[in-house]
Amino acid sequence: MNKFGQLADKKPLIDLHQVVKTYESSSQPFTALQDINLQIREGEFVAVVGKSGSGKTTLMNLLAGIDRPTVGGITVAGTQLHSLSESQLAEWRGRTIGLVFQFFQLLPTLTVVENVMLPMDFARIVPATERQSKALDLLDRVGIRDKANKLPTTLSGGEQQRAAIARALANDPPILLADEPTGNLDSVTGEAVMKLFTDLNAEGRTILMVTHELDIMRSIRRQVVLMDGRIADEVQMQADHLKSEEVRS
Ligand SMILES: Nc1ncnc2c1ncn2[C@@H]1O[C@H](COP(=O)(O)OP(=O)(O)O)[C@@H](O)[C@H]1O
Ligand SMILES: [Mg+2]
């Protein structure tokens, strides 16, 4: 049991039931996800893999409540997402989901520590007087406290991704969704960032990570393979096959 344990045990933390996503925006409708049934338990670390265009980002957007399914139901931490209005979804996301992207998406005009404080300012869970020290603690956690007052563009790619991870942790969410977080990093930096995620998972955070990279993929126990918008395969590796022991040492 960990500090997120109250959400846990019998029911899956994340449950997608017969989810379909059809984009209507283009000239003709395009179904990016079909018949997705997926359950993820609290504390799992799941790799979402598949070719470009297979629907990985669409899946992440649905889980984050950034977009809504055309058909089907998504329940996350006991909340049925379809029951929430747009503003309720935004509030729910702020509390429940930490997002990490391939291209970091830090605001260039804010310092690193201000970027980390931003989700706290939106969610208003952390009292205003404590936000800066909490943000500094998070930067310490990801190893870049000394960069707190710099602008993001003065940081290396790996440092920017660490800042983005600190920002994702701002409101202490139980779930992290990362869309190709090492895709724009060299392999050594990528492994270091991956170790951060492995540690965050070991603390009990549930993580879904989209990745193309074989090394990263192999260090994650459960793999969900998307192909043309469907779950084509699921792989659950035994612990002794995991590369994460190597990553950790
Ligand atoms: N807003 C959109 N409107 C129309 N089609 C989209 C939209 N977003 C994604 N798609 C299409 O849906 C498919 C899946 O996209 P995406 O989820 O981004 O795949 P992946 O992340 O695996 O590369 C692609 O064919 C893409 O072109
Ligand atoms: Mg994508």
Sheet holding 71-76, edge to edge: 30-40, 14-23, 71-76, 79-80
Closest-lying ligand 1 atom to the alpha carbon of residue 50: 22
CA torsion 110→177→158→214, rounded to 10°?
-160
CB 225 less than 6 A from any atom of ligand 1: no
Dist CA 131 CA 115 (whole Å): 11
Closest-lying ligand 1 atom to the alpha carbon of residue 52: 23
Q: What is the 3-state secondary structure (H, E, C) of 202-245?
A: HCCCEEEEECCCHHHHHCCCEEEEEECCEEEEEEECCHHHCCHH
CB-neighbour burial class of residue 184 (10 A; exposed 0-12, middle 13-18, buried 19+): middle
Q: For position 235, what pLDDT does the model report?
A: 87
Q: For position 2, what pLDDT does the model report?
A: 59
Q: Please tell me whether residue 51 adopts helix, strand or coil conformation.
A: coil
Q: For position 236, what pLDDT does the model report?
A: 86
CB-neighbour burial class of residue 85 (10 A; exposed 0-12, middle 13-18, buried 19+): exposed
Q: How far does residue 210's CA lie from ligand 2's centre (Å)?
A: 8
CB 56 less than 6 A from any atom of ligand 1: yes
CB 219 less than 6 A from any atom of ligand 1: no
Q: For position 115, what pLDDT does the model report?
A: 98
Q: Which residues lie near ion ligand 2 (Cβ < 5 Å)?
A: 56-57
The per-residue pLDDT string of the chain (249 residues; one tens digit each, 9 = 90 and over) reads 556 655 445 689 999 999 999 999 768 999 999 999 999 999 999 999 999 999 999 999 999 999 999 999 999 999 999 999 999 999 999 999 999 999 999 999 999 999 999 999 999 999 999 999 999 999 999 999 999 999 999 999 999 999 999 999 999 999 999 999 999 999 999 999 999 999 999 999 999 999 988 888 888 999 999 999 999 988 888 765 565 444 333
Q: For position 4, what pLDDT does the model report?
A: 65
Q: Please tell me whether residue 24 adopts helix, strand or coil conformation.
A: coil
Q: For position 233, what pLDDT does the model report?
A: 87
Q: For position 242, what pLDDT does the model report?
A: 61
Q: How far does residue 82's CA lie from ligand 1's centre (Å)?
A: 21
Q: Please tell me whether residue 79 adopts helix, strand or coil conformation.
A: strand
Residue closest to 159 by CA, chosen among 193, 132, 210, 183: 193
CB 27 less than 6 A from any atom of ligand 1: no
CB 30 less than 6 A from any atom of ligand 1: yes
Q: For position 116, what pLDDT does the model report?
A: 98
CATH superfamily of 44-57+83-248: P-loop containing nucleotide triphosphate hydrolases (3.40.50.300)
The beta strand positions in 27-91, using DSSP E, are: 30-40, 45-49, 71-76, 79-80
